[in-house]
Amino acid sequence: MMPDRETTVVLISAIASGQGKTTVTAALARKLVKQGRSVRVFKTGPDFIDPMMLERACGHPVQSLDLWMVGLEQSQAMLAQAAQQADVILIEGVMGLYDGNPSSADLARAFGVPVLAVVDAGAMAQTVGAVVMGLRDFGPVQLAGVVANRVASPGHAKMIADAMRDIPLLATLPKQQQALPERHLGLVLPDEVVQLDVMLDQLAEQLSLDLDALDALPRLRLASAPTEEIPPLLKGKTIAIARDAAFAFLYPANLECLRSLGAQLVFFSPVNDEVVPDHADALYLPGGYPELHAQALAQAVRWQQSVRDAHAAGKPILAECGGMMVLTEKLVDKQQAEWPMLGLLPGTVVMQTRLAALGAQAWQTPHGNLRGHTFHYSRFETALQPELHTHKHSNGEPGEAIYRTGSLTASYFHSYFPSSPAAAAALFLPVQS
């Protein structure tokens, strides 16, 4: 075991969503990388898209940290591992600093991580001081300093700094002519942004950073946590995983978990009409944006038939959210266009403008308790009766429906496999009769 190493670690949070946390985290990560620092970035809570953007900024995969979904010990283990490789660890928070149970503040306190508060200063000046003092004292948390976003001028920055009394202004970022584009589930996918690396370099250049103040922060010694050995329950199995612009919602930890279970992973693109590899023993259709690629998926007849053949052969299939949507009979997009899908699940998926479900949930299986989340803007109209439901973390009430037909398991629920590797493995093994 490698000795514990002291590392600069900060959690980047705000009073709410929309303050610019991801933009600031990406800009800071890219700036530090360009200065020759080794940087690792984490994202608090369940998220797929922001981590992809942050990965482009720092050059390394971005894992999720969460005291409930991931767990205290696994979060500690990932932080300790990152500390062996990084000069600086950045953790982007979720929503506002104190929102959720557990919140970003809970995570910061659990590991003794100081908080860097991002404030949208575009429509205020001295009031930033009141906002950040409230953020510091409400918990309280250890507040390392502030990043003022959308600052209009050096004079504006000085007014903010003077108002914050004993709280340092660590960085400022000016108003952006071109912001990172967003969609209803957050930012758009990185590959959809033209010249993304140019934008990230520009953000890094425009971020005015007090590097001495950052380096003066207390360096944390992150102790390694004991981790349970994962039995090779999927040894000798090959799992085919859909991965392209329509199926991009994959936790890096899920892939690592499957590999730790002994599985070989192969990837294919439904959008490009690539078939499920014949040698695959099981199929994983993760979430994503199938509604944006409905025409291509509807016309991908070779891919569609290969999935039907896998189902007819009794190969285990796990379909999550977007993966479930394409297995229905029909998908109705936001423009009310109707697209025929694979028809393995009776019913129609209809996109809607309002959020249909959001939140952390758990799936109680015979093999263990799988934790995860749901977040979708569509509804599934079906006469098919669910086999069971997940349970909402907030109140224990029934959550998402879990559908089963033959070897197919489908739900809007996104599982975080490391929360129960045995339960995850069972989803890719034939059901024992």
- Torsions phi, psi for 38 (to 5 deg): -90, 120
| Gyration radius from the chain CA atoms | 22
Q: Is 258 helix (H, G, I), strand (E, B) or coil?
A: helix
Which two structure tokens, joined as six digits, stand for 184?
């209803």
Dist. CA 296–CA 198, nearest whole Å: 30
Task: List 266's β-bridge partners, or say none.
Answer: 240
Distance of CA 30 to the CA centre of its chain: 19
Which of 315, 319, 314, 296 has its CA nearest to residue 380? 319
Residue 321 is among the residues annotated as catalytic for this protein: yes
Which two structure tokens, joined as six digits, stand for 119?
């404030």
Which one of 119, 318, 321, 345 is the catalytic residue?
A: 321
Which two structure tokens, joined as six digits, stand for 422?
């045995």
To the nearest 10°, report the CA torsion of 93, 65, 215, 22. -40
Task: List 241's β-bridge partners, or say none.
Answer: 267, 284
Dist. CA 118–CA 17, nearest whole Å: 10
Which spans in 98-152 are helix H?
A: 104-111, 127-138
Dist. CA 426–CA 367, nearest whole Å: 7
Please identify every residue annotated as catalytic: 321
